[in-house]
């Protein structure tokens, strides 16, 4: 069962996204309110997809968090989301997806399924990628 880590510093948005994901019985959803907690979760629980807000109330942005996670876990797919304009180009150099808030649960689910379907055919390892 693929595991998705949702990172958003706004509790109500994060919980709404987790609920939308949880309605799909084929995915496990984990959540974090800030990048440091997200990194702790990833160190203990293998994930397949990072779904993060671009703008977080910390020194680490969603894109920086994605870079840190994918540097160690290259199999992890990334979807960045934002309600602010101008973040839609952050994904292009890395193969990441971007979704503009607000979005419907159906659009979120379709995007998640599309991104995870694009994964390499081999099984993902739960250990960090070697440098």
Does the 3-117 domain belong in CATH 3.20.190.10?
A: no
pLDDT given for residue 118 in this prediction: 78
pLDDT given for residue 10 in this prediction: 94
Q: Identify the segments of the chain with pLDDT beneath 50.
A: 121-131
pLDDT given for residue 11 in this prediction: 96
Domain boundaries of the chain, sorted by first residue:
3-117
Can you give the chain as a three-state secondary structure string? Answer: CCEEEEECCCHHHHHHHHHHHHCCCCCEEEEECCHHHHHHHHHHCCCCEEEEECCCCCCCCHHHHHHHHHHHCCCCEEEEEECCCCCCCCCCCCCCEEEECCCCHHHHHHHHHHHHHCCCCCCCCCCCCCC
């Amino acid at each position: 069962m693929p595991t998705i880590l949702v990172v958003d510093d706004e509790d109500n948005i994060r919980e709404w996204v987790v609920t939308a994901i949880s309605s799909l019985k084929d995915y496990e959803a984990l959540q974090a309110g800030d990048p440091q907690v997200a990194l702790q979760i990833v160190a203990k629980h293998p994930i397949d997809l990072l779904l993060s807000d671009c703008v977080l109330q910390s020194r680490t942005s969603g894109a920086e968090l994605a870079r840190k996670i994918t540097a160690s876990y290259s199999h992890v797919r990334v979807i960045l989301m934002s309600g602010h304009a101008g973040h839609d180009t952050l994904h292009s150099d890395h193969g990441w997806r971007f979704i503009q808030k607000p979005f419907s649960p159906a659009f979120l689910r379709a995007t998640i399924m599309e991104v995870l379907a694009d994964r390499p055919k081999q099984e993902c390892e739960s250990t960090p990628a070697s440098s």
